[in-house]
């Protein structure tokens, strides 16, 4: 734990500046929102009842979070599609958004190429690459990301343009005041979680210490379902360690029966419940009872409450906390959080087999 208060840990391990990327999330969100608010879209795009976001990995997480935040809306239905083939039901009242940070994600390019042959509305969010070329060749609007980072560290450009698009198309969504309040909250919270904040009062450092050497299992529900997904993927990619996520109330119908075996599980697992008071009251009761069941099996766990008074603040406060936790776990694992050599190898091998 003391090591996380030693500044030399970060200079020696974080060679690519992931800590600076996490610190910069509030500023990134503001820049992305301001730019996306000026995006011009055809008026016909407001006549959609479905939004399909094509994306993988860090490029798709913004769509996941959008889906949770827009669930109460009467329309549109938001879906995130992680695969090669476009869903057959895509029609002229569907907006297909190809989201790829690099613009070269093969699954996203495949789905978007199929979308070009349909009468659906289309949009691209990317830094460039083949996806952007396809969009411009076919007169499809492009939101250009102007931020240099690994895709998972560009969440502001993954989520905020989507929120702005929902607003510009006339759907109820985040207003400028909501976004500004969220950004201010992140600035305040981030200061208490960054590297120079001492471990004894730094929630992110304390959580990383508890997860160190264990398999993290993240529980979420409602608007926090895909925040739990984000924690899982950030721990995988930044910390380079096993992590899983599950969703309430579904896990109460199966996962709770698996707490006892195999023997020794309690020594290797740590469960985190991501929680906010905006969740369904019956689900909050399930949080409590599920924790009691974990106690019976001797499995350590902890409740992590969100900060803020609206859904956007609830979501983004926990996202930022999870990013910091994954960063400190990387430090405890004595590894640079930025490189992803296994993913690079997969892409290389797939290119060779094309």
Q: Write out the catalytic residue numbers.
A: 237, 253, 347
DSSP helix/strand/coil, 98: strand
Burial of 171 (0-12, 13-18, 19+ CB in 10 A): middle
DSSP helix/strand/coil, 66: helix
Distance CA 98, CA 22 (A): 25
Distance CA 242, CA 265 (A): 14
Q: Please say whether the beta carbons of 46 and 170 come within 8 A.
A: yes
Spacing of C-alpha 273 from chain mean position: 16
Give the HSE-up count for residue 218: Cα atoms under 13 Å, Cβ half-sphere: 29
End-to-end CA, the chain: 47
* Strands 142-144 vs 121-126: parallel, antiparallel or unpaired: parallel
- For 255-341, list the strands marked E by DSSP: 269-275, 301-305
């Amino acid at each position: 734990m003391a090591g996380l208060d030693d500044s030399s840990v970060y200079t020696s391990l974080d060679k690519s500046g992931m800590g600076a990327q996490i610190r910069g999330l509030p500023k990134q969100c503001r820049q992305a929102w301001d730019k996306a608010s000026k995006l011009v879209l055809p008026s016909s795009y407001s006549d959609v009842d479905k939004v399909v976001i094509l994306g993988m990995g860090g490029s798709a997480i913004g769509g996941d979070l959008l889906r949770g935040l827009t669930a109460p809306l009467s329309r549109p239905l938001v879906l995130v599609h992680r695969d090669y083939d476009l869903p057959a039901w895509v029609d002229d009242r569907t907006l297909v958004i190809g989201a790829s940070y690099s613009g070269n994600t093969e699954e996203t390019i495949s789905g978007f190429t199929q979308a070009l042959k349909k009468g659906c509305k289309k949009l691209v969010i990317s830094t460039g690459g083949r996806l952007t070329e396809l969009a411009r060749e076919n007169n499809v609007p492009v939101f250009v990301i102007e931020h240099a980072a690994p895709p998972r560290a560009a969440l502001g450009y993954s989520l905020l343009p989507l929120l702005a698009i929902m607003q510009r198309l006339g759907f109820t969504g985040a207003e400028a005041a909501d976004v500004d309040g969220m950004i201010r909250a992140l600035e305040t919270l981030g200061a208490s979680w960054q590297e120079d904040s001492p471990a004894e009062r730094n929630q992110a450092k304390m959580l990383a210490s508890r997860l160190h050497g264990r398999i993290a299992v993240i529980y979420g529900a409602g608007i926090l379902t895909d925040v739990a997904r984000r924690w899982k993927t950030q721990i995988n990619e930044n910390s380079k360690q096993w992590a899983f996520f599950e969703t309430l109330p579904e896990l109460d119908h199966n996962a709770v029966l698996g707490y006892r075996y195999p023997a020794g599980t309690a020594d290797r697992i740590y469960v985190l419940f991501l929680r906010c008071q905006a969740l369904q009251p019956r689900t909050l009761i399930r949080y409590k009872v599920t924790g009691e069941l974990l106690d019976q099996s001797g499995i350590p766990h902890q409740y992590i409450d969100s900060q803020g008074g609206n859904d956007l603040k609830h979501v983004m406060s926990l996202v930022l906390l999870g990013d910091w936790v994954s960063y400190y776990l990387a430090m405890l694992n004595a590894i640079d959080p930025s490189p992803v050599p296994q993913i690079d190898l997969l892409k290389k091998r797939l290119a060779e087999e094309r």
